Amino acid sequence: MCGIVGYIGKNQAQPILISCLARLEYRGYDSSGIAVAGDRIKVFKDSIRVNELAKVLPEIEATAGIGHTRWATHGEPSRINAHPHCDCTGDIAVVHNGVINNFQQLREQLIAEGHQLVSETDTEVLPHLIEKHYQGNLETAVEAALLEVKGSYAIVVLKKDEGKLVVARKDSPLIIGVGDRENFVASDVPAILDYTNRVIYLDDGDTAVITEDAIKVRHGGAEVTKQEQQVSWSVEDAQKGGYEHFMIKEIHEQPKVIRDTLGEYIALAEPIVDFKALSGEPLEDILFIACGTSYHAALVGKYLIEELVSIPARVELASEFNSYHLPLRGTGIVAITQSGETADTLNAMKRLKGAGKKVIVINNVVSSSASRLADQTINTMAGPEISVAATKSFTAQLMALYWLALSYSKVDISQLDNLVTALRQLPRKVQEILDNEAVIVECAKYLSKYENVFFIGRGLNFPVALEGALKLKEVAYIHAEGYSAGELKHGSFALLSADTPVIAIATPDRTYEAMLTSIKEVKARKSPVIALVEEDDVNIGELADMVITVPRIDAIFSPVVNSVALQLLAYYTAKHRGCPIDTPRNLAKSVTVE
């Protein structure tokens, strides 16, 4: 959570910091602030969004500065708690993403030594520790300060008259953007794409000293050489491109995402994963670990593995994984994470790695922390996903899971051929849904009047019900529960009434008859029903109050088309309700705290 940026170079820092910060708002947006270095450090910050900060900033001549957009962990969103934070002299300013676990102890120690700390944040101890250790060299002071710190951090430090930025990372992402007589620092690549696509990825334990024309990376006190990389994401990828919100742009990108992700896998000469070569043991079962939307993708993955590969698969929430037994020999372990920075997922991966297990990650961000921790990465080709609500990355994860299951599939060759043919048709099928969204817009208008909604599905579409409910909660602020259709009668029927619509996912598969029964039971309790059915369905039209149709597709791929329809439903419902769709309250794109 939180986005941090830094700039030093030939241009004025202030407008660059603001434009980089605006691209990082998906990481947190309850406060923002910048500090620039002139004859003294000048700090401007408040509990306001970046565009509002830009309006109230005076013009300041300075060619070096740092910036922050906050997702509050320690202390409410307020001016005093917003970053940057300064030392007693006001000469050192720090922006931080992460959590300092021992901040209370450090704070008490610093106060006893005469430092005045004014905020409730954990971050504020950092500038004071750096001040304490400063003896004429900023990088040495930063390294000494960080030796006292327990926790996670990506930081950028600015000091009056030094002509440099000092940065450091441990368990929080940080990249350096390389320019021509100017250099950039950011939590994530989209922040700097307007200025450069040349990037240096920092590793845990790295510090770097950055000036206008030099970048010196250090590790363990010694200088290390880092390779510069060219990122393939373009500026357009990180812009709205004429759409009103990133969420709808990203929903519309899905035909391309499916094509790109599948294209990547189809072109591979090797199998997508060779579990046996990796662990030295024959594959007996699979363990998936993930959070949120990625967890829902994993639930679809479990179904695919059991159906197509005929081995057991289990799915664990990464945040719960510490309470569970470690897997045995022969278990293929697959973590799924869009950002590759989710703390819960990283912690679960570290626990597994610590026990000597091999871990594969399905990940959308090249060189993310998860990717560097994993023994093998399956990249998804969704491109940068800016809206907090995951949409295209979910579809790309499903593509990875289909390919994984198909590459180990025990079905006969002609069935396999049919499945691959159907898989290749998915971009066209998804496009059909996007081209015919009018009915979904009507359903959304209807749904937007309600405060409680159930999503029901069975089998492969039970995770789709969970994902549909998560999307609606997240962007439209409607209480929604995803339920297995068969489970609803075991208690939750008590909540059904004319005021509680039920979205029933009833595309044809082996659970179709049971879904028909569930819909009848729901109607008997007077709940309005919006049914998601395949085109030409003849049974459900007369039962349901409203019907959304999706194109015909082999049942095993129905989660893709059904999810896209439910993403549109959530988007347009949120739009009718006037919600801030890309930046829902209390949330942030990557959850880098436990």
Contact positions vs ligand AGP (CB under 6 A)? 291-294, 337-339, 342, 345, 388-390, 470, 474, 590-591
Q: Tell me whether residue 37 or residue 579 sits nearer to ligand AGP (CB atom).
A: 579
Tell me: cis bond preceding 501? Omega within 30 of 0 counts: no
Give least dist CB 28 to ligand AGP, A: 13
How many CA atoms lie within 13 Å of 380's alpha carbon, on the beta-carbon side? 34
Give least dist CB 153 to ligand AGP, A: 19
Give least dist CB 293 to ligand AGP, A: 3
Residue 127, SS3 per DSSP: helix
Mention every residue, 6+ apart, whose C-beta is less than 8 A from residue 277: none
- Dihedral sign for Cα 457, 461, 464, 466, please: positive
Using CB atoms, what's the residue nearest to ligand AGP?
Answer: 292
Give least dist CB 441 to ligand AGP, A: 21
DSSP state letters, 19-58: HHHHTTGGG--SEEEEEEESSSEEEEEESS-HHHHHHHPP
As a whole number of angstroms, the distance between CA 499 and CA 502 comes to 10
Q: Tell me whether residue 549 or residue 590 sits nearer to ligand AGP (CB atom).
A: 590
As a whole number of angstroms, the distance between CA 522 and CA 500 comes to 10
As a whole number of angstroms, the distance between CA 212 and CA 10 comes to 7
Q: Tell me whether residue 294 or residue 461 sits nearer to ligand AGP (CB atom).
A: 294
| Residue 421 amino acid letter | T
Strands 285-290 and 331-337: parallel
What's the start-to-end Cα distance of the chain, in Å?
11
The answer to whether 502 and 496 have CB atoms below 8 angstroms apart is yes
Give least dist CB 288 to ligand AGP, A: 12
Q: Tell me whether residue 134 or residue 455 sits nearer to ligand AGP (CB atom).
A: 455
Among candidates 471, 413, 478, 430, which has minimal Cα distance to 452? 478
As a whole number of angstroms, the distance between CA 231 and CA 176 comes to 12
Among candidates 513, 511, 558, which has minimal Cα distance to 534? 558
Backbone angles phi, psi at 333, to 5 degrees: -110, 125
Give least dist CB 590 to ligand AGP, A: 5
The first and second tokens of residue 181, run together, are 């007589």
Q: Tell me whether residue 183 or residue 563 sits nearer to ligand AGP (CB atom).
A: 563
The first and second tokens of residue 201, run together, are 């990825």
Give least dist CB 306 to ligand AGP, A: 23
Give least dist CB 277 to ligand AGP, A: 27
Q: Tell me whether residue 159 or residue 473 sits nearer to ligand AGP (CB atom).
A: 473
DSSP class of residue 381 equals -
Give least dist CB 404 to ligand AGP, A: 17
Helix (H) or strand (E) holding 185: strand 182-186
As a whole number of angstroms, the distance between CA 425 and CA 561 comes to 11
Give least dist CB 361 to ligand AGP, A: 10
Q: Is 514 left (phi over 0), alpha (psi -120 to 50) or beta?
A: alpha
Backbone angles phi, psi at 367, to 5 degrees: 65, 25
Give least dist CB 474 to ligand AGP, A: 5
Q: Is 265 left (phi over 0), alpha (psi -120 to 50) or beta?
A: alpha
Q: Is 394 left (phi over 0), alpha (psi -120 to 50) or beta?
A: alpha
Largest CA distance in the chain: 79
Q: Tell me whether residue 363 or residue 461 sits nearer to ligand AGP (CB atom).
A: 363
Angle between helix 292-304 and helix 462-476 axes, rounded to 10 deg: 170
| Residue 131 amino acid letter | E
Q: Tell me whether residue 196 or residue 387 sits nearer to ligand AGP (CB atom).
A: 387
As a whole number of angstroms, the distance between CA 212 and CA 234 comes to 24
- Binning the chain into helix, strand and coil, the percentages to the nearest 5 are 40, 25, 40
Q: Tell me whether residue 142 or residue 581 sits nearer to ligand AGP (CB atom).
A: 581
Q: Tell me whether residue 132 or residue 296 sits nearer to ligand AGP (CB atom).
A: 296
- Which residues are identified as catalytic? 2, 589
Q: Tell me whether residue 208 or residue 291 sits nearer to ligand AGP (CB atom).
A: 291
